[in-house]
Chain A
Amino acid sequence: MSDIVGIDLGTTNSLIGVMDSGFPILIADRDGSRLTPSVVYLPETGEPVVGAPADRMRALMPERTLYSVKRLIGRRPGESEKEDFPFAVKSLSGRMVLEVGDQLLKPEEVSSLVLKKLKVDAETSLGRAVDRAVISVPAYFNDLQRQATKRAGELAGFTTERIINEPTAAALAYGLDRLRDRSRVAVYDLGGGTFDISILELNEGIFRVLSTNGNTRLGGDDIDRELVRLLKERITGRYPELRPELDDRQFFARIREIAHTAKLRLSTEDAVQVEIPFLSGNRSFSYALTRMELEAIARPIIRRTRSHCLRSLDDAKLDPVKLDEVILVGGVTRMPIVRQFCAEVFQRLPNITQNPDEAVAVGATIQAGILSGVVQNVVLLDVTPLSLGIETFGGLMNVIIPRNTTIPCKAGEMFTNAVANQTSMQIVVLQGERELAKDNWELGRFNLEFEPVPKGIARVGVQFEIDGDGILHVLARDTRAGREKVVELSSAVDVSDEAVEKMIAESLDHAFEDMSERVWTEAVLKSNELIPAVRSALTLVGDQITSDDQRKIDLLVLEVEAALKGHDSQRLKKANAELDEGTQHLATLLIDRAMSEAARRKK
């Protein structure tokens, strides 16, 4: 039997590994690096460039250098908020595509270029062909995102043997040395673009996932983005005339890189000097960024992981005290503030023995070993992260397979004709946790066909099956006729084009709205609520901010007051928005205080 490789296809970096005499080994490329940046540079002529050399092109050719494509894979245009990519992302017949020059690429095509590079690295290192792979995905990926990832593997020339959840893989990497143990572990996985939390039970070689939760749009990139915003603010504070230049794509890419490097260094240093020489002409910028400043920005983002942690504990029916270990995975968990946060939520110090960048790839490699039979006496029982259901009467979601059901699993539903001689009905398949059908992901829809018979006589069973990759298969069986057929889910392309059009129409409505008196009245109401709120916040936690910040807030309040005297609704709206933004940090402090007060009361 040929080798199966394990691949961590990450938002920021990707890795590949193979089992070697019973041990998972990660493979280095010809430059000796095990981490391949998930970046693809497409030159005007010639072959695509992948990995570190492509990464170096990011600041030089931002519109031809594609990164963080994992954020787009399996997504529809309507469902993602605007991303700050320096390259062009377009919608084409209901799909996201990347436009480089006159070339259009699907996200999975870009990912397949990264996978191809890893394949070549592995083949060079092993001296033989590899064409079977286990690829990891965030646990919280939905069906479409999994399918697109599987397709990326196939485009790269792999048979995708298994899609494995990243935190589960990390747990495998951690648990392989502890095969005789019985313990419960939480894997907190905060990467560049996604957050996952999984709770597992290890039981003498059996890895059983109890629950999983997360957010596929939450990660270190969000911290970078906020940091870029802060730096831009500091730059325009010093050189107001540079404001228009800061929106330039190339410039954005340059600051982004500087911000990212500063963030990494602040995990071990208390302050770093951010230098941007020759910002414009001979103006240079230098700024002492402290860890405290970075943490003030990062805190609200990291706090967003909290409810996911609580939900997964709840679903696993576990108190944090019953956990034996909390394992940290993903580059962002190097930040001290993340470690503190985990210690707080799980009431124990996290385990940082795993290399946060490599654990997932090692685990994917072990899973490859299990599938090829090299690793024995290890059983993996994973779950489906999202509930699967269908739309029922009244636009509600009717759950058929609840989240955290162990996979593979099957569930059925019986349908009948509501009127005589009805020949078909439409079934809408949904994935997600919301009560209203429209708030969930629509995986697709299909027509269920009936024989023309009197009302309520037809009997068609629909079976939903989630396989070991977490991918859905639908089977319909006419129990009266005894016929069976595999149902193809048509993708919801039309729907999402409609949604996009609706969004455009709505944004036009907003353009006219400004002329109305209503906008002014609303803005005034908001100001009148906001100003006293800011004052009382300042008396509560004002002593915790610098006098510099205090002065800035005072100025923002003055601007709102000045705008109230005029009758310019645009100006007042802008002043309100700026005050909102300027008091974000103050709000965080208030909530911190409320939380610690609540915690004290409990004791």
Chain B
Amino acid sequence: MIDYFALLGVERRPAITEEILKEAYFRKSESLQSDSAESGELSAVNAAFRTIANPATRIQHLLKLEFGDPGGGQIGADLGELFGLIVKVLQNADQELGSLSAQSSPILRALAYRKLDGLRQQLEQVERELSQRESGLLAEVARLDQSWLEDTAHTRQPIAQIALDFTFVQKWLSQVRERKIRLEELA
């Protein structure tokens, strides 16, 4: 397995600022393009950037390098609760969007669209909730970054948990946002 941290020349730890990562990535791609490198090398650099830029994949990659295993398990209990709500909102959205897109008359569709304000508000509320969790998790990564440097072994489990939660929050966020866009699209 390639060590993406080493490839880009950045520190191997849970947190990194966007500035530092980009700087490293740009320097690397610039040097490769100027000596017309193999596209294989460029691919690896691109993959490294993509992996490290996302907190979830960065942590999983880090854990794999350190312990040979990304860890994980089950999502946090409060996320599980939120999941119930999200499923309801998404199902509701799919149903409403489905009947709206089946409507072939422009005028009937326009009238139906006017009634979808409730759905839009629901989606926005779930989105806000998820964005909050996302920032919460980011703060947590920053905190665990410190304890990682002090005691890697003990930080392993909590940081694996964060990575897992992060994956789910990101996935749900993109699902909620996709519904919001589809709502606009059907207008």
Contact = CB atoms under 8 A, between A and B. Distances in A.
A594 interface: yes
A529 B111 CA distance: 11
B46 to A, nearest CB: 4
Nearest to B109: A587
B46 A407 contact: yes
A142 interface: no
A508 interface: no
Given A465-B43, A529-B108, A598-B120, A406 B49 contact: yes
Interface string A574-603: 001000100110111011001100100000
Contacts of A588: 106, 110
A303 B29 contact: no
B47 interface: yes
B110 A537 contact: yes
A405 B46 contact: yes
B102 interface: no
Interface range for B: 35 or more
Given A206-B30, A314-B177, A379-B30, A409 B47 contact: yes
Interface stretch (B60-68, B140-148, B159-167, B179-187): B179-187
Interface in A194-220: 203, 206, 208
Interface in A395-426: 405-410
A459 interface: no
Contacts of B110: 537, 586-588, 590-591, 594
Given A405-B46, A530-B105, A537 B111 contact: yes
A275 to B, nearest CB: 32
Contacts of A405: 46, 50
Interface of B: 22, 26, 29-30, 33-34, 39-40, 42-44, 46-47, 49-50, 104-111, 113-114, 117, 120, 174, 177, 180-182, 184-185, 187
A530 B108 contact: yes
A277 B110 CA distance: 39
The 8 closest A-B pairs by CB, nearest first: A587-B106, A307-B185, A590-B110, A587-B110, A408-B39, A406-B46, A410-B43, A583-B107
B2 to A, nearest CB: 11
A303 B40 CA distance: 41
A383 to B, nearest CB: 9
A594 B117 CA distance: 9
A206 B180 CA distance: 33
B39 A467 contact: yes
The A contact surface, by secondary structure, is helix
Given A307-B181, A591-B113, A410 B26 contact: no
Given A307-B182, A409-B43, A598-B120, A583 B30 contact: no
A10 to B, nearest CB: 27
B105 A533 contact: yes
Contacts of B109: 587
Given A537-B110, A537-B111, A594-B114, A408 B26 contact: no
B106 A583 contact: yes
A536 B46 contact: no
Contacts of A537: 107, 110-111
Given A379-B29, A381-B29, A530-B107, A408 B187 contact: no
A255 interface: no
Given A306-B184, A307-B184, A379-B29, A408 B42 contact: yes
Interface of A: 203, 206, 208, 303-304, 306-307, 310-311, 314, 376, 379, 381, 405-410, 465, 467-468, 526, 529-530, 533-534, 536-537, 576, 580, 583-584, 586-588, 590-591, 594-595, 598
A468 B111 contact: no
B107 A587 contact: yes
A583 to B, nearest CB: 4
Given A314-B181, A408-B39, A591 B107 contact: no
B20 to A, nearest CB: 14
B55 to A, nearest CB: 13
Given A307-B182, A580-B104, A583-B107, A594 B113 contact: yes
Contacts of A598: 117, 120
A100 B124 CA distance: 54
Q: Which of A304, A307, A526, A583 has the most CB of B within 10 A?
A: A307
Nearest to A410: B43
Contacts of A529: 105, 108
B74 to A, nearest CB: 24
Contacts of A307: 181-182, 184-185
Contacts of A409: 43, 46-47
A468 B105 CA distance: 44
Contact of B181 (A310, A465, A580, A586): A310
9 contacts: A304-B185, A306-B184, A307-B181, A410-B43, A410-B44, A465-B43, A587-B110, A591-B110, A594-B187
B117 A580 contact: no
B187 to A, nearest CB: 5
A407 B43 CA distance: 7
Contacts of B49: 406
A533 B46 contact: no
